[in-house]
Amino acid sequence: MPEVLPHLQRLEGEAICILREVAAEFRNPVILYSIGKDSSVLLHLAMKAFHPAKPPFPLLHVDTTWKFREMIAFRDATAKSLGVKLLVHTNRDGIERGINPFDYNPDLHTQVMKTEALRQALDMHGFDAAIGGARRDEEKSRAKERVFSLRSSNHGWDPKNQRPELWGIYNTRIAPGESMRVFPLSNWTELDVWEYVQAQAIPVVSLYFAKRRPVVRRAGSWIMVDDERMRLNPGEEPEQRLVRFRTLGCYPLTGAIDSTATTVAEIVHELGSSASSERAGRVIDHDQASSMEKKKREGYF
Amino acid sequence: MGHPATAPGSGTRLRVVACGSVDDGKSTLIGRLLFECDSVSSDQLAALTRDSRRYGTTGDEPDFALLLDGLEAEREQGITIDVAYRYFSTARRRFVVADVPGHEEYTRNMETGASNSEAAVLLADARKGILTQTRRHAHILSLLGIRHIVLAVNKMDLMDYSAERFARIAEECDRLAAKLSFASVVPIPVCARNGDNVTTRSPRMPWYDGPVLLQHLESLDIDGGSETKPMRFTVQWINRTNAEFRGYAGSVVSGILTEGQEIVVTASGVRARVNRIVTGDGDLKQAVAGQAVTLVLSDEIGISRGDILTLPEWRCETADQFAAHVVWLTHEVMLPHREYLIKFNSRVVPGRITALRHRLDPDSLEQVAARALEMNEIGYCHISTREPVSFDPYRENRETGGFIIIDRQSNATAGAGMIDFALRRAANVHWHELDVNAGARAGLNGQKPCLLWFTGFSGAGKSTIANLVERRLFAEGRRSYLLDGDNIRHGLNRDLGFTAADRVENIRRVTEVARLFVDAGLITLVAFISPFSAEREAARESFRPEEFHEIYVDTPLEICRARDPKGLYARAASGRLKNFTGFDSPYEPPLKPELVLRTAEASAEELASHVIGYLRTKGLIP
């Protein structure tokens, strides 16, 4: 067994226990796989939880069609090498309406291509439990959420009326039409995730590591020019810059940071001296005080 | 952020809950702690400054409570509704702090946060001292087995940093702690808003020579962790990858398990040896508390989800009756004898609270008599489960001594309990298998025994139709018995009234009597209003699926009222009859009855024939 800190082992044990509880109690669960580091850790834990069997649930990726190209390549390679079933869903209606992050408000883009798309996919497959890699330390409304978080028949979250959740005894009962969102990484921090990635040598998308990339400066963030669809403003000239990403999402809405960290160990070191939060690079998060809560009440992860 | 590399020996995270009465400054104290430990990032600080101007109570200063009150409703109302978890670390230790609500209404969320904590910071406002809610929280902490408490006497600035005031509150706290079971209680005078004695010693309270808050939490020695307790392995999932591999996936929740050791399944007493401890990183020689692994055993023995495996010399209890402290978490009151689902680790069994011995008064911590538990009340109960369960007393092992109570109708987490001791060991009460059983008697009678459960309003026609059905059965030479609601209340249930609690007990007794009659081989008819679906469902589960037939006598309330065969509707209308179904007591119609009889559309004779026809199609009578 690789050398891990006791507290990482404890987090691992808790997460595996949660994943097995889902397998035992739900009829049709799914892992929401968003390709980022948290999803990589989640998938790694699912592989371990059921070893030597494969995880008894498929992966679902909600593809907005604006993800970094490297993410999509990594996604397909991961599903193939691990031998797990991968479902990809895109909101066709949104595509036909021409929704994109340039002509529309980023919030609307997220609403249609992520939240609505997710609801469509969950309804279409009839999933009764959706496992996600969200963590409580990411954002303050997430800090309030239960590990097993009930969703109404239209996928809404009622933050004022959550079920009490004592010890590690989870109430998994749902009425017809309702579903459960489950967060095995609730108690992990960003640093825990990276330390675990390091200890277990878990593959992550190379966008997390510093490299010279073509970027433009927008609203205080470095936005990468990932393909020809990126619209440049008059006078805007992409520059090659040594950057990396702390979180991953739709490339026009995800800011890179200046960094020289090219290994996981360097990332762990860098986090120790960082003054900004993990989600600071996400354009969709900081428009209002309760934007995440609002999105979650509508069904966002 | 902050300090990634913690010092050697500080590899675990200390889980702390901050609690106390509303407005004592919990969120402010934690916000201050996070800020001073560099766990607030620059963009979060910018958002905080913005939010403080909009929602804050501190003028131009940042309002640290807003770092934690993550829900819109909380910021608007300026209160904490639900528990928030925050993570930070210092050079000496990693922490997770649960910030819980102080309002009595949200005690369930306080309990959620406290249940996973190892230490607590209990706040008191220096101006107000120890309040009822402070006592309530202290009591809950003690029940939940939290052994180390800091009493943070906050807002010392508003009492001119008075040493006398602090000493008075500390004394009051000592008197409270004497009634509870804490290992350490350390009072510290603080001012959360200005940071006095939070992370650094305050120059404004030179008379105080004890530890400052952070320093105390960093050095707190949490003894008796779960790894020092007897080994308990809870089985969660059976792993059958292929014909060759059969493993039991679960967690070592306490103690240490070593390869080659002999284990015993506590419920059955069957033993086997641990051949392998399988993990995704390869086999282990040893698994310790907190690790989730998969066991391969030497023999194929019966093990299912929810079983607890122990070492033969250190078994846990197995019983179907036990005494426990129960905290009630939902608006719907706890009724003794109502059937709930009870979940222990991975095991779910139906069970009931058979006796509410007493309730605890939150202020005096005295025991008072009670007939039901309201939301946020704490009671001491006897609980009976339909099947035996394995557990440890909660004070001996938090991992195997707790349970939650789930409402069968709403699926709400209705209560949580901590087991005190087993009342009766299951080993002594094996069901006596008799040679002449229901099947044998059924063959002799030329019929299949079953239960026809007629439910509906008073005056719906239940007794009339049931009586006609029984006459037809009798004429055909079938053996039957009719249990009628009114008749049973004259004898067996004469001590019961019509409150919700008594109605639940009424139905429970009738269910048990009906079980004996069905076992005797009879076609048994029950004609009871039986207004609550929870009790009817509980009755259903006491029988085999092919035995229980729910018949809904569906008569609109207006027709029942017009018929009023016993004059009861008239008495209820005049207020002389209380708790009458359809008036001031609810009726929950069946969702999936086997038969619906609409008396407005057919005569009682026709409906009785319909029931007989149904019995024939089901093959219950020839």
Distance between CA atoms of residues B114 and B108, nearest Å: 10
Dihedral of CA A49/A52/A58/A61: which sign?
A: positive
Residue A275's pLDDT is 63
Q: Clarify whether residues B17 and B147 are in a common domain.
A: yes
Instruction: Look up B530 and say whether it is catalytic.
Output: yes
Cross-chain residue pair A51–B278, CB shorter than 8 Å: yes
Mean pLDDT of chain A: 90
Shortest CB distance from B251 goes to which of A17, A50, A167? Answer: A17
Cβ contacts from A onto B, under 8 A: 189
CATH number at residue B291: 2.40.30.10
- Looking at the domain assignment, is residue B5 inside a domain? no
Q: Clarify whether residues A117 and A68 are in a common domain.
A: yes
Distance from CA of A169 to the nearest CA of B (A): 5
Rounded mean pLDDT, B357-363: 87
CATH number at residue A52: 3.40.50.620
Q: Clarify whether residues B335 and B368 are in a common domain.
A: yes
Cross-chain residue pair B236–A136, CB shorter than 8 Å: no
Cross-chain residue pair A276–B43, CB shorter than 8 Å: yes
- Split at pLDDT 50, 70, 90, the class of A276 is low
Distance from CA of B497 to the nearest CA of A (A): 33
Strand segments, DSSP code E, in B130-254 are 148-154, 184-189, 232-239, 247-254
B60: left (phi over 0), alpha (psi -120 to 50) or beta: alpha
Q: Which two tokens mark A59?
A: 């992966």
Q: Clarify whether residues A87 and A229 are in a common domain.
A: no
Distance from CA of B561 to the nearest CA of A (A): 34
Interaxial angle between packed helices A37-49 and A6-25, expressed in degrees from 0 to 180 and rounded to the nearest 10: 70
Closest CA to A35 of A62, A11, A4: A62
Rounded mean pLDDT, A74-90: 96
Residue B486's pLDDT is 79
Say yes or no to pLDDT of B508 above 60: yes
- Looking at the domain assignment, is residue B4 inside a domain? no
Q: How many domains does chain A have?
A: 2
CA nearest B304 in A: which residue? A24
Task: Write out pLDDT tens, residues B583-609.
Answer: 788 899 998 899 999 998 989 999 999
Contact B458, B581 (CB under 8 A): yes
Q: Clarify whether residues A28 and A65 are in a common domain.
A: yes
SS3 annotation, A21-79 = HHHHHCCCEEEECCCCHHHHHHHHHHHHHCCCCCCCCCEEEECCCCECHHHHHHHHHHH
Distance between CA atoms of residues A141 and B81, nearest Å: 12
What percent of chain B stands above pLDDT 90? 50
Q: Clarify whether residues A75 and A223 are in a common domain.
A: no
CA nearest B85 in A: which residue? A143
Residue A248's pLDDT is 93
Closest CA to B454 of B613, B597, B312: B597
Rounded mean pLDDT, B158-183: 93
Residue B519's pLDDT is 87
Rounded mean pLDDT, B95-104: 90
- Looking at the domain assignment, is residue A145 inside a domain? yes
The DSSP result for B158-172, as a single string, is: GGTT-HHHHHHHHHH
Mean pLDDT of chain B: 87
Say yes or no to pLDDT of A288 above 60: no
- 3-class DSSP state for residue B5? coil
CA nearest A275 in B: which residue? B41
CA nearest B12 in A: which residue? A7
Half-sphere exposure of A76 (CA within 13 A, CB side): 5
Residue B15's pLDDT is 92
Distance from CA of A140 to the nearest CA of B (A): 5
The DSSP result for B208-224, as a single string, is: --S--HHHHHHH----S
Return the residue in B15, B55, B303, B404 with the most chain A beta carbons within 10 A, the one to mutate for interface testing: B404
In chain A, % helix, strand, coil (3-state, to 5) comes to 40, 15, 45
- Number of C-beta neighbours around residue A8 at 10 A: 18
Task: Write out pLDDT tens, residues B366-395.
Answer: 889 888 899 999 999 999 999 999 999 999
Q: Clarify whether residues A183 and A239 are in a common domain.
A: no
Task: Write out pLDDT tens, residues B423-456.
Answer: 876 554 344 445 666 666 766 677 889 999 999 9
Burial of A233 (0-12, 13-18, 19+ CB in 10 A): exposed
- 3-class DSSP state for residue B615? helix
Q: Which two tokens mark B160?
A: 């001119």
Shortest CB distance from B47 goes to which of A14, A200, A286? Answer: A286
Shortest CB distance from A143 goes to which of B70, B81, B329? Answer: B70
Residue B581's pLDDT is 86
Contact A60, A43 (CB under 8 A): no
Q: Which of B26-30, B258-262, B298-302 has the highest mean pLDDT?
A: B258-262
Q: Clarify whether residues A129 and A210 are in a common domain.
A: no
Q: Clarify whether residues B475 and B600 are in a common domain.
A: yes
Residue B308's pLDDT is 96
Q: Clarify whether residues B135 and B98 are in a common domain.
A: yes
Q: Which domain holds residue A62?
A: 6-195+290-297
Listed in sequence order, the residues at least 6 apart from B306 whose beta carbon sits closer than 8 Å to its beta carbon are B234, B235, B344, B345, B346, B347, B348
Which comes out higher in pLDDT, residue B227 or B527? B527
Q: Clarify whether residues A170 and A234 are in a common domain.
A: no
- Split at pLDDT 50, 70, 90, the class of B2 is very low
State which of B187, B219, B251 marks the end of a domain: B219
Q: Clarify whether residues B241 and B208 are in a common domain.
A: no
- Split at pLDDT 50, 70, 90, the class of B497 is confident
- Split at pLDDT 50, 70, 90, the class of B622 is confident
From chain A, the residues in CB contact with B65 under 8 A are: none
Write the single-letter amino acid at B604: A
Distance from CA of B347 to the nearest CA of A (A): 10
Distance from CA of B123 to the nearest CA of A (A): 21
- Split at pLDDT 50, 70, 90, the class of A264 is very high
Say yes or no to pLDDT of B158 above 90: yes
- Looking at the domain assignment, is residue B2 inside a domain? no
Rounded mean pLDDT, A87-92: 96
- Looking at the domain assignment, is residue A1 inside a domain? no
Task: Write out pLDDT tens, residues A8-49.
Answer: 999 999 999 999 999 999 999 999 999 999 999 999 999 999
Shortest CB distance from B411 goes to which of A165, A175, A277? Answer: A175
- Split at pLDDT 50, 70, 90, the class of A1 is very low
State which of B263, B280, B310 marks the end of a domain: B310
Quick check: A274 contacting B, CB < 8 Å? yes
The active-site residue, picked from B530, B542, B574, B609, is B530
Q: Clarify whether residues B278 and B330 are in a common domain.
A: no
Q: Clarify whether residues A107 and A138 are in a common domain.
A: yes
Shortest CB distance from B343 goes to which of A160, A171, A186? Answer: A171
Closest CA to A211 of A253, A268, A257, A260: A260
State which of B374, B401, B428 marks the end of a domain: B428
From chain A, the residues in CB contact with B101 under 8 A are: none
Distance between CA atoms of residues B193 and B65, nearest Å: 10
Cross-chain residue pair A50–B44, CB shorter than 8 Å: no
- Looking at the domain assignment, is residue A54 inside a domain? yes
Q: Clarify whether residues B32 and B129 are in a common domain.
A: yes
Residue B476's pLDDT is 82
- Looking at the domain assignment, is residue A61 inside a domain? yes
- Split at pLDDT 50, 70, 90, the class of A206 is very high
CATH number at residue B176: 3.40.50.300
From chain B, the residues in CB contact with A160 under 8 A are: 71, 73, 81-82
Q: Clarify whether residues A180 and A222 are in a common domain.
A: no
Contact A159, B71 (CB under 8 A): yes
Listed in sequence order, the residues at least 6 apart from A295 whose beta carbon sits closer than 8 Å to its beta carbon are A110, A111, A115
Which comes out higher in pLDDT, residue B276 or A6? B276
Rounded mean pLDDT, B493-502: 81
ipTM: 0.91
Quick check: A2 contacting B, CB < 8 Å? yes
The DSSP result for A104-154, as a single string, is: S-HHHHHIIIIIIHHHHHHHHHT-SEEE----GGG-TTGGG--SEEEE-TT
Say yes or no to pLDDT of A5 above 70: no
Q: How many domains does chain B have?
A: 4
Q: Clarify whether residues B523 and B538 are in a common domain.
A: yes
Contact B305, B313 (CB under 8 A): no
Rounded mean pLDDT, B15-33: 88
Q: Clarify whether residues A123 and A249 are in a common domain.
A: no
Task: Scan for tokens 């510290």, then name that residue.
Answer: B188
Q: Which domain holds residue B72?
A: 13-219
- Looking at the domain assignment, is residue B594 inside a domain? yes
Which comes out higher in pLDDT, residue A263 or B49? A263
Q: Clarify whether residues B189 and B300 are in a common domain.
A: no
Q: Clarify whether residues A174 and A234 are in a common domain.
A: no
Distance between CA atoms of residues B440 and B436, nearest Å: 6
Quick check: A153 contacting B, CB < 8 Å? no
Q: Give the angle B449-B451-B455 at the CA atoms, nearest 5°.
A: 165
Q: Clarify whether residues B195 and B234 are in a common domain.
A: no
Task: Write out pLDDT tens, residues B186-229.
Answer: 999 999 988 999 999 999 999 999 999 999 999 998 766 777 88
Listed in sequence order, the residues at least 6 apart from B567 whose beta carbon sits closer than 8 Å to its beta carbon are none
Residue B223's pLDDT is 64
Residue B496's pLDDT is 84
Cross-chain residue pair A140–B68, CB shorter than 8 Å: yes
Say yes or no to pLDDT of A2 above 50: no
Q: Clarify whether residues B24 and B93 are in a common domain.
A: yes
- Looking at the domain assignment, is residue A181 inside a domain? yes
- Looking at the domain assignment, is residue B182 inside a domain? yes
Q: Clarify whether residues A246 and A183 are in a common domain.
A: no
Q: Clarify whether residues B45 and B108 are in a common domain.
A: yes
Contact B158, B185 (CB under 8 A): no
Interaxial angle between packed helices A6-25 and A190-200, expressed in degrees from 0 to 180 and rounded to the nearest 10: 90
What percent of chain B stands above pLDDT 70? 93
- Looking at the domain assignment, is residue B3 inside a domain? no
Residue B5's pLDDT is 41
